[in-house]
Amino acid sequence: MGFEGIGASVRRKEDQRFLAGRGNYTDDINRPGQAHAVIKRSDRPHAKLLGINSAAARAMPGVIAVYTGADMQADGVGGVPCGWQIHSKDGSAMNEPPHPVLAVDLVRHVGDPVAVVIAETRQQARNAAELLEIDYEDLPAVATLRDAVKPGAATVHDNAPGNVCFDWEIGERAMVDAAFAQAAHVVKLDLTNNRLIPNAMETRAALGDYERTSGEYTLYTTSQNPHVIRLLMGAFVLHLPEHKLRVVAPDVGGGFGSKIFHYAEEAIVTWSAGKLCRPVKWTCDRSEAFMSDAHGRDHESTAEMAVAADGRFLALRVKTLANMGAYLSTFAPSIPTYLSATLLAGVYTTPAIYAEVKAIFTNTVPVDAYRGAGRPEATYLLERMVDVIAHDTGIDRVALRRLNFIPANAFPYQTPVAMQYDSGDYQTTLASAMKAADWDGFEQRRAESARRGKLRGIGMSTYVEACGIAPSKLAGQLGARAGLYETAEIRVHPTGSVTVFTGTHSHGQGHETTFAQLVHDQLGVPMAMIDVVHGDTDKIPFGMGTYGSRSLPVGGSAMVKAMDKIIAKGRKIAAHLMEASVEDIEFKDGSFHVAGTDKSKTLTDISMAAYVPHNYPIEELEPGLDETAFYDPKNFTFPGGCHICEVEIDPEVGSTQVVNFVAVDDLGRIINPMIVEGQVQGGVAQGIGQALMENAVYDEQGQLVTGSFMDYTMPRAHDFPNITTGTEMTLCTHNPLGSKGCGETGAIGSPPSVINAVVDALRDYGVRHLDMPASPQKIWAIIQANQPRMAAE
Ligand code: MCN
């Protein structure tokens, strides 16, 4: 066995199980006596719910129950809570309208759950749901941001006039205005961050179970953070004490953010299981997922940069409308605000920044975090802006970036929008990416493409992002209604094998491997003797789950702390066994040594002594070798880097092929380079998808037009080139691993590099900006409408 510690590309342990079809997903779990739930959803964007006649449905074979919002409300079931509160400029708290689990008086988006039918089989439930007679009175609906803010627009919630959820600001407006007054150039850009539908490979599912004798509930669910679901559902929706509610998130087939949130269906199956004293399972159809999983992005922004004559950025002003959808999903208010506007400095020294965010309700599916969550929006805005400034001023886009970079010796660097970056080196990642992408050889390749009748373009984006969200105290001040620490328990068993219990969740990121590597590295235990357990509130002390690329920087750091405790206790036991003083005991390569002697004890000797304490310092130490740590980080971590995209456009049809993609990222210390490469490539694939094809579209009435894979274009393997990845390292200065997160960088850095490349390819057509997705239709229209500049000259 070769080296398997920190820095080794160990193959993913979990893949044995997944590749052999032995994964255990929520829908694979079946409980004795299980019934099946089908949710009847609104087909109206906005309507009064006048009545539900369920007589025919109830009479159908196999039907056990039909429940409505009124039934649940009568039983005291609360609404779906929001986990983050934002305050508006004027100090008022955001409008937080009720979000019933099943609609009560009104439906507010297509897909809003209206009733649940529970039957012996799923097909029976589905057939019966067809027979529910729902009496609606249609109301006018608003589906887009622009429509929702028009004077006289229909209102989604009575208590949110003008459809405004909050009107928030950050930064020094007066400073920014003063800088604009001095600027040599003012560059303005309107841009859209398109609406996305996450589409994890496994659709959501939930199975509620109830044990009548103990009064205990169990929810199996496709979740990225089971403890938070237990907290929200137990405390706010079902009013169950936590010790009576177990939430299990077994194998989860991708989440990309969409499985962070507490969804109504989780409460519906848990509550129904209690009512019926039978397990109740719901599994989402793919078409149902399109209209019930939280969507992502959907921002409209206007950005203005004040620029000095030499190209230095003096001030940035940004105004954003952010779509919340019809209700506030768990973390929705934090996405356009503290996870986006706080990153508007990017990698640049812009001294003054002012941003306003208006969050708007519409008659659409709730919008929340999707891979990157706020940071892709900030990066896209800035990195498009830089290219547009280069376009408008004639300054070279690489020189402009280099001129404005935060220098490597300026860290820790305080931005004007709250963040303090701890480390980074943007010149180096830029240089490394340009070399790998052969930036200097591009014009030759462009000429070669032109000879084949193709338009070639190259674009870059230089980004920084904030992940490993923390610390709890700060997050609390900013509106989080939960802590943002992480928990780890390291249990060394008597014979020296180890179980790691982590409050994070793995739904594709390979934690069972990388976390085992951490333990192997620090405790010297062979990989085969380490198991990583996540996703079960009955097994794990507590956890804040997985999002914001926090599992390694925060969860991994908790493990390091717990292992430090194991080693500290082990040294005391070893000192006792070897009759030495604790100060003389060193721990190295899995053994405790008495310094300066050849005396040593293995970790297994120590764990056996701890569990069979016949010869043990029992007055001083408790038996056992099992330690827990809670780690609350001091700051976010700040990965950064440079992504370069090269595209070729076929002007005959407007289609874009990404012909080369290079991502050079600074992720701090890397545990497993192979897994990190996969993470970056996956993120880049999603970023390319957003930039070129993905787009959720509602029609004016509020019907989701892109409600299936026929209309919502997901990228496929042939849409990508080989994605070249590289890394440069500056260590995170405040966590014990020196690691920064990597799970979202690909989705954050890539979209602007793709659009910058597309705009570059169209440079002879006078294109300054183009909104995502750069679809063939859009590009073809541009080509048709504009004569190539060279031809016209
Ligand atoms: N890692 C490492 N060295 C580093 C950083 C990370 O070896 N310097 C490893 C970690 O140990 C872990 C993986 O890379 O195995 C990702 O770690 P991290 O960046 O901490 O991110 P999380 O594990 O917290 O994953 C969440 C992140 C997010 S927010 C989304 S969204 C996302 C993602 O990662 N969703 C994913 N990657 C995904 N990958 C898959 N396959 N499926 C998803 O749903």
679 close to ligand 1 (CB < 6 Angstrom): yes
CA dist., res. 642 & res. 346, Å (int): 12
So what's the pLDDT on residue 693?
97
Between the alpha carbon of residue 303 and those of residues 19, 123, 186, 354, 775, the distances in Å are: 47, 51, 10, 10, 23
CA 248–ligand 1 middle distance (angstroms):
20
Is residue 591 within 8 A of residue 603, CB to CB? The reply is: yes
Instruction: Give the nearest ligand 1 atom to 254 CA.
Output: 44
CA 509–ligand 1 middle distance (angstroms):
5
In 364-476 the beta strands, taken as DSSP E runs, fall at: 367-368, 413-414, 420-421, 455-464
Ligand 1 probe mutation, 742, 744, 745, most atoms within 8 A of CB: 742
257 close to ligand 1 (CB < 6 Angstrom): yes
So what's the pLDDT on residue 470?
75
Is residue 467 within 8 A of residue 547, CB to CB? The reply is: no
Q: From 104, 99, 115, select the one nearest 326 (Cα to Cα).
A: 99
So what's the pLDDT on residue 338?
96
510 close to ligand 1 (CB < 6 Angstrom): yes
CA 534–ligand 1 middle distance (angstroms):
14
So what's the pLDDT on residue 200?
97
CA 715–ligand 1 middle distance (angstroms):
21
CA 771–ligand 1 middle distance (angstroms):
28
755 close to ligand 1 (CB < 6 Angstrom): no
746 close to ligand 1 (CB < 6 Angstrom): no
CA 707–ligand 1 middle distance (angstroms):
28
Sequence letter at residue 48? K
Q: What is the pLDDT of residues 28-38, one digit of tens each?
A: 999 999 999 99
| DSSP result, 390-401 | HHHH---HHHHH
CA 332–ligand 1 middle distance (angstroms):
21
CA dist., res. 617 & res. 541, Å (int): 27
Instruction: Give the nearest ligand 1 atom to 252 CA.
Output: 44
So what's the pLDDT on residue 791?
46
pTM: 0.97
744 close to ligand 1 (CB < 6 Angstrom): yes
Within 10 angstroms of residue 126's Cβ, the number of other Cβ atoms is 15
So what's the pLDDT on residue 790?
57
Q: Which residues contact 624 (CB under 8 A, 6 or more apart)?
A: 610, 611
CA 580–ligand 1 middle distance (angstroms):
43
Question: What stretches in the chain show pLDDT beneath 50?
Answer: 791-793
CA 751–ligand 1 middle distance (angstroms):
19
So what's the pLDDT on residue 453?
97
So what's the pLDDT on residue 334?
97
CA 260–ligand 1 middle distance (angstroms):
14
675 close to ligand 1 (CB < 6 Angstrom): yes
DSSP conformation class of 236 = I
CA dist., res. 41 & res. 97, Å (int): 20
Determine the number of helices (DSSP H) and then strands (DSSP E) in the chain: 21, 29
| Residue 304 DSSP SS3 | strand
So what's the pLDDT on residue 788?
77
Instruction: Give the nearest ligand 1 atom to 504 CA.
Output: 24
Instruction: Give the nearest ligand 1 atom to 515 CA.
Output: 11
741 close to ligand 1 (CB < 6 Angstrom): yes
